[in-house]
Amino acid sequence: MLTNTLYFAKLLNNQVTILSKLCSDFGIEHAVICPGSRSAPLVFAFNRNKNIKTYAIVDERSAGYIALGMAQQLQKPVALICTSGTAALNFFPAIAEAFYQKIPLVVLTADRPAELLNQQDGQMINQVNVFGSHVRGSLNFDSQNLATGNWQLTIGNLLEKSTHPVKGPVHINVPLIEPLYEDLAISNELPMHREAIGNNEIKNNDFNATQLINAIQKCDSNKPKVILVGQGFPDQELAAVLKSLEQKGFVILADVVSNQQESTSASHYDLIIAQAAPKILKTLEPDLIISLGGSVLSKALKLWLKKQKPSFHFRIQQDDVLVNTYDNVTDYLITDNITPLKFITEQYVSKNSFLNNWQETNTKAKQLVTDFTQNNQTVFNELVAVNTVLEQLPNQSQLQIANSTAIRYVSYLGLPNKNLTVFCNRGTSGIDGCTSTALGAALINNKITTLITGDLAFFYDRNAFWNNYIPNNLRVILLNNNGGGIFNLIDGPSSSPELDKFFLTKHTLKAKNLATDFGLIYENCTSQNELKQALNSFFEPSETAKILELSFDMNKSAEVYKAFRKMVISS
């Protein structure tokens, strides 16, 4: 007869197997697993599930972002598994990013029994609700509660929270009792089918359609009507509706990572708001704003919109946390993006449009970028180099952009008209995990996936390559100025005595050794001509990933950038 301890060990291991089946039945097809001992039953359960493809990633922080990149592409949950103790905390940055980007993850953390907490037992911290308000839901999968009979339904309801009503991460903490490596029989008990797991359909709050149209009709016909699209995922239905609205005179401003770039009325709006003459900006002020999607990158746009006092600002969202970034929202539409916008296209009778003002100003901004980049190629600099890379990106490929300087360059320069999908970790806007996210995305999408990244973000996340799954469609453009060059560009740090030591964090690292360590194709460029030549073959198919390192003088790049930012878009 089994002792109670062994009985519960076998019982829990058996239920962990069913847990993996519940996950695959829910639609989870990929699991990123970090090595560890306490998590052995979870490893066995998920690795032996024929419906789930597993990936072994050593570094938990990198693993979290790789899973994030995979789920970003799939738009369905990916499982993320680790052992007990601080391993779980290393998942936290990626979980926070997933929460704010609304990317579904199912995080499973192995744990020791609760009675050992704070008893000087090894590799143990308080893991219950450890991710707090940064997950959509969490539960403790305690062996003592397995006899309740409805635990499968409880798990099912939690899994549903990763996708409905708003996508995001969920957390299951799994206390496991030794022995951990018993060759336990795999349970033949089948999980419930999807229809039996929860029933949390998206419920849209009704909005007064007539009131919406009447409000739009009341707006000042002498001012633009702006639809602002923040960070989001590709959506062809939304793109079609936005194009219809533009035809009715609405100005569409789509963020650089909105994946609605083909719909935008002003691809250079970041540059326009930052550098247009006051007289021009006055003609662009909206009396109606409709905002949707995630965060917006442009700091200039944020500051400008905070100064605006439109008659109406309709915020479309499904999250129950009301967003009022610019402090001028007048009405919330708690619904999906399509319903109200499509209704407007069908019912709104357009009046005078000031769309032309935006489009004409955008043409001037685009010409300014063209002239400047053509006239500043003698000195090798980051801004012009990034513009060259953007121009050479393959059509219908994917662009992943690291935070800090890289994403700002792309926003100012504007994206090429190449039907790209574009992503950046703007949920929390950190530099950690940018490479791992891109690698995870490339594992899934099979497209040429280009990461444009700065040196600090790249070397901080070098463990992204410490695995056996480096995809050959990954291309890395590394902007290396040997430090945190962004702090030479922004006000404040650039004039402080602590600049060199605490902001620029200068270094002498190069990516060549890293490329050798991980078997990657590597090339270094130190001039504009070398860059153009290297790009001729950089995006061609290869047996492994490629790194193109661009070496810059930080001060020279800063001079060119500051000259660019001093130009004014005038009438």
The pTM assigned to this predicted structure is 0.87
Percent of the chain whose pLDDT exceeds 90: 65
Domain end position, chosen among 327, 356, 385: 356
Say how far apart CA 500 and CA 534 lie, in whole Å: 32
Q: Are residues 381 and 345 in the same domain?
A: no
Say how far apart CA 263 and CA 276 lie, in whole Å: 22
Q: Can you tell me the mean pLDDT for 388-414?
A: 95
The end-to-end CA distance of the chain, in Å, is 89
Say how far apart CA 422 and CA 420 lie, in whole Å: 6
- Quote the distance between the C-alpha of residue 389 and its chain's center: 21
Q: What is the pLDDT of residue 434?
A: 95
Model confidence band, residue 186 (pLDDT cutoffs 50, 70, 90) = very low
Model confidence band, residue 209 (pLDDT cutoffs 50, 70, 90) = confident
Q: Are residues 162 and 214 in the same domain?
A: no
Q: Can you tell me the mean pLDDT for 74-100?
A: 94
- Mapped onto helix, strand or coil, the DSSP state of residue 336 is coil
Q: What's the sign of the alpha-carbon dihedral 177, 182, 185, 191? A: positive
Q: How do residues 127-163 score in pLDDT, each as one tens digit?
A: 889 999 999 999 988 755 565 667 888 899 999 999 9
Domain end position, chosen among 323, 356, 389: 356
Q: Are residues 134 and 231 in the same domain?
A: no
Q: Are residues 132 and 244 in the same domain?
A: no
Domain end position, chosen among 179, 194, 218: 179
Q: How far is CA 41 from CA 44, 48, 105, 116, in A?
A: 5, 11, 20, 19
In a domain, 292, yes or no: yes
Percent of the chain whose pLDDT exceeds 70: 86
Model confidence band, residue 315 (pLDDT cutoffs 50, 70, 90) = very high
Model confidence band, residue 321 (pLDDT cutoffs 50, 70, 90) = confident
Domain of 252: which CATH number?
3.40.50.1220
Q: What is the pLDDT of residue 486?
A: 61
Q: Can you tell me the mean pLDDT for 178-184?
A: 63
Domain of 397: which CATH number?
3.40.50.970
72 and 103 in contact (C-beta within 8 Å)? yes
Residue with tokens 């929860």: 198
Number of Cα atoms under 13 Å in the Cβ half of residue 15:
23
Q: How do residues 51-69 score in pLDDT, each as one tens digit?
A: 999 999 989 999 999 999 9
Q: What is the pLDDT of residue 497?
A: 57
In a domain, 366, yes or no: no
Does 118 score more than 80 pLDDT? no
Q: Two tokens at 69?
A: 């990149």
Say how far apart CA 259 and CA 66 lie, in whole Å: 21
Q: Can you tell me the mean pLDDT for 357-369?
A: 93
Q: What is the pLDDT of residue 492?
A: 54
In a domain, 369, yes or no: no
Q: Which residues pair with 550 in a beta bridge?
A: 479, 525
Most confident option among 159-168, 182-191, 319-328: 159-168
Beta strands in 112-188 (DSSP E): 137-140, 169-175
Q: Can you tell me the mean pLDDT for 393-422?
A: 94
Q: Are residues 158 and 248 in the same domain?
A: no
Say how far apart CA 356 and CA 359 lie, in whole Å: 5
In a domain, 351, yes or no: yes
In a domain, 185, yes or no: no
Range from 185-199, 262-276, 502-516, 533-547 carrying the lowest mean pLDDT: 185-199
- Mapped onto helix, strand or coil, the DSSP state of residue 225 is strand
Does 440 score more than 80 pLDDT? yes
Name every residue whose Cβ is closer than 8 Å to that of residue 12 and which is 6 or more positions away in sequence: 41, 143, 146, 174, 175, 176, 177
More confident call, 221 vs 561: 561
CA dihedral angle for residue 544, residue 450, residue 95, residue 194, rounded to 10 degrees: -80
CB atoms within 10 A of CB 400: 29
Q: What is the pLDDT of residue 312?
A: 92
Provide the domain limits for residue 134. 4-179
Q: Are residues 41 and 175 in the same domain?
A: yes
94 and 68 in contact (C-beta within 8 Å)? yes
In a domain, 143, yes or no: yes
In a domain, 15, yes or no: yes
Structurally, the chain folds into a number of domains equal to 3
Q: Are residues 386 and 476 in the same domain?
A: yes
DSSP state string for 170-213: EEEEEE--S-----PPPP-PPPPPGGGS------PPP--HHHHH
In a domain, 63, yes or no: yes
Q: Are residues 345 and 269 in the same domain?
A: yes
More confident call, 505 vs 195: 505
327, exposed or middle or buried, with CB in 10 Å at 0-12, 13-18, 19+? exposed
Range from 15-29, 188-202, 470-484 carrying the lowest mean pLDDT: 188-202
Q: Are residues 61 and 122 in the same domain?
A: yes
Q: Two tokens at 120?
A: 């000087």
Does 189 score more than 50 pLDDT? no
Q: Are residues 153 and 120 in the same domain?
A: yes
Q: Are residues 493 and 345 in the same domain?
A: no
Q: What is the pLDDT of residue 349?
A: 76
Q: Are residues 390 and 256 in the same domain?
A: no
Does 201 score more than 50 pLDDT? no
Q: Two tokens at 483?
A: 């430090």
Q: What is the pLDDT of residue 507?
A: 82
